[in-house]
């Protein structure tokens, strides 16, 4: 019996993985649509709580709040698309020039380090067979392996990033259709659930579990989005004041990649830091960008966010790392960005049911769910 259960579980996992890979073009837009739908519904609740000044007990009706919420999300999507399309084309066009400048800086630093190293050695300590003397200059006969910076291909990175965003833009019509049908389905879900669970006691228990899942997911997404937005705005202000090129694009990248814990914020900050190193003739703007951006990241991610979220993230670092590798390999850049929200939602759902609670404990950071 145990062997049969293990075999069935292995077959199920294989089928899920096959569906995720083979159905990427269908599932990825649907997952993005679910996130947009969730934000629309959250905005509906916010708008319905608003009161008009001078009118007692006057609140928006559901259809009014829904219309305003949809228009708000469409306006945000339009503004983001406009900023990204204008910025990313400029970044890709200028990337080769900045890449060459960065390599020149690396070469100068390496030459300086080699000079300092040679100054510290005596002539007897330098192997004659490793150098060739030509017109008084020393030319190394040993090929140097390229440094980490020299291996970075900025054009390729931003091209792939642009392709990922382009795929989302091309699927935006399908995504909006999914959102529309999700909004329609959400209005009738309560009635369907009632018919699915006719027993009032079981219905109340199921409704309570679903409500707690929605509240926990809503709390996580709300806090994560607000913290990422605040980080992006503060970084944008700092970059704009210092005068770093493409400040709008870097701010958008910081907001997006902050959903990837640990390495996401580092990668997001790395590019404006490197750009400031080669854009300005002096090192002072570079130092200012490094100090300010990393300070913002540390304060927001290590102080502000943990106090706001508490245990809502509650994922083991190993689970985060494995999920990042898995979703990144399956769905690329979009999968890497969505991996942690997806795993948090899965963990919240697993923790609400007794039979799957042990999996939530296993995935948690400290064993508490």
Tell me how crowded residue 319 is: count the other CB atoms within 10 A of its CB: 18
What is the token pair recorded at 94? 């200028």
Q: Which helix (H) or strand (E) holds 350?
A: helix 317-351
35/245 Cα distance (integer angstroms)? 31
Identify the three-state secondary structure at position 347. Answer: helix
Tell me how crowded residue 102 is: count the other CB atoms within 10 A of its CB: 18
Per-residue pLDDT of 313-344, as tens digits, reads 567 778 878 888 888 888 877 787 778 778 87
Tell me how far CA of residue 191 lies from CA of 196, 205, 212, in angstroms: 9, 15, 19
Q: Are 276 and 244 in contact (CB under 8 A)?
A: yes
2-26 core/surface letters (b: 16 or more CB in 10 A; e: else): eeeeeeeeeeeeeeeeeebeeebee
203/197 Cα distance (integer angstroms)? 5
DSSP lists the bridge partners of residue 133 as 138
What pLDDT does 233 receive? 93
**Closest by CA position to 155, among listed 101, 92, 104:** 92
Reported confidence tier of residue 132, pLDDT bands at 50, 70, 90:
very low
Per-residue pLDDT of 21-37, as tens digits, reads 777 778 888 888 888 88
Q: Are 69 and 43 in contact (CB under 8 A)?
A: yes
Q: What is the DSSP letter of 304?
A: I
Per-residue pLDDT of 245-292, as tens digits, reads 888 888 888 888 887 766 777 888 888 888 888 888 888 998 999 999
**Closest by CA position to 247, among listed 282, 214, 289:** 289
Q: Are 137 and 64 in contact (CB under 8 A)?
A: no
Q: What is the DSSP letter of 368?
A: -
What pLDDT does 111 receive? 66
181/238 Cα distance (integer angstroms)? 41
What pLDDT does 120 receive? 53
285/239 Cα distance (integer angstroms)? 10
Range among 4-13, 116-125, 152-161, 188-197 with highest mean pLDDT value: 188-197
What pLDDT does 148 receive? 46
DSSP code string of 95-151: HHHHHHHHHHHHHHHHHHHHHHHHHTS-GGGS-GGGEEEETTEEEE-SPPPPPHHHH
Is the full-model pTM beyond 0.85? no
168/152 Cα distance (integer angstroms)? 25
What pLDDT does 142 receive? 41
Residues whose CB falls within 8 Å of the CB of residue 142, separated by 6 or more in sequence, listed in order: 130
Q: Which helix (H) or strand (E) holds 187?
A: helix 172-196
What is the pLDDT of the chain when averaged over all its residues?
75
213/169 Cα distance (integer angstroms)? 30
Would you say residue 125 has pLDDT above 90?
no
Would you say residue 235 has pLDDT above 90?
yes
DSSP lists the bridge partners of residue 217 as none
Rounded to an integer, the average pLDDT of 198-214 is 77
Residues whose CB falls within 8 Å of the CB of residue 172, separated by 6 or more in sequence, listed in order: 77
User: Residue 282: what are its φ and ψ, rounded to 5°?
Assistant: -110, 165
Rounded to an integer, the average pLDDT of 178-183 is 86
Tell the residue number behind the tokens 């910081």, with chain if given.
254
CA torsion sign, 204 to 344 to 337 to 258? positive
What is the token pair recorded at 271? 């590019």
Q: Residue ranges per domain, the chain?
A: 24-196
């Amino acid at each position: 019996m145990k062997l049969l259960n293990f075999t069935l579980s292995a077959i199920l996992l294989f089928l899920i993985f096959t569906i995720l890979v083979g159905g990427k073009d269908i599932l990825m837009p649907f997952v993005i649509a679910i996130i947009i739908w969730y934000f629309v519904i959250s905005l509906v609740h916010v708008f319905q709580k608003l009161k008009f000044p001078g009118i007692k007990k006057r609140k928006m009706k559901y259809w009014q709040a829904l219309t305003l919420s949809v228009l708000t999300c469409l306006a945000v999507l339009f503004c983001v698309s406009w900023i990204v399309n204008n910025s990313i084309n400029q970044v890709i066009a200028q990337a080769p020039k900045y890449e060459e400048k960065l390599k020149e800086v690396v070469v100068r630093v390496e030459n300086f380090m080699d000079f300092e190293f040679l100054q510290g050695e005596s002539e007897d300590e330098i192997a004659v067979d490793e150098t060739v003397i030509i017109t008084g200059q020393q030319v190394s006969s040993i090929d140097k392996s390229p440094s980490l910076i020299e291996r970075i291909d900025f054009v390729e990175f931003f091209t792939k990033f642009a392709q990922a965003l382009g795929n989302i833009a091309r699927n935006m019509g399908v995504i909006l259709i999914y959102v529309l049908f999700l909004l329609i389905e959400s209005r009738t879900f309560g009635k369907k659930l009632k018919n699915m669970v006719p027993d009032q006691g079981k219905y109340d228990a199921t409704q309570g579990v679903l409500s707690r899942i929605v509240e926990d997911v809503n709390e996580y997404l709300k806090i994560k989005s607000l913290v990422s937005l605040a980080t992006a705005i503060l970084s944008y202000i700092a970059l704009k004041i210092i005068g770093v090129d493409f400040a709008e694009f870097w701010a958008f990248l910081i907001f997006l990649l902050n959903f990837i814990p640990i390495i996401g914020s580092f990668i997001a900050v790395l590019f404006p830091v490197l750009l400031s190193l080669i854009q300005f003739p002096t090192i002072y703007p570079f130092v200012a960008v490094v100090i300010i951006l990393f300070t913002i990241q540390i304060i927001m991610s290590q102080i502000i966010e943990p106090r706001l979220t508490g245990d809502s993230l509650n994922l083991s670092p190993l689970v985060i790392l494995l999920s990042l590798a898995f979703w990144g390999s399956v769905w690329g850049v979009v999968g890497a960005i969505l991996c942690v929200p997806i795993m948090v939602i899965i963990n919240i759902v697993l923790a609400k049911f007794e039979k799957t609670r042990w999996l939530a404990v296993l995935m948690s950071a400290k064993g508490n769910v």
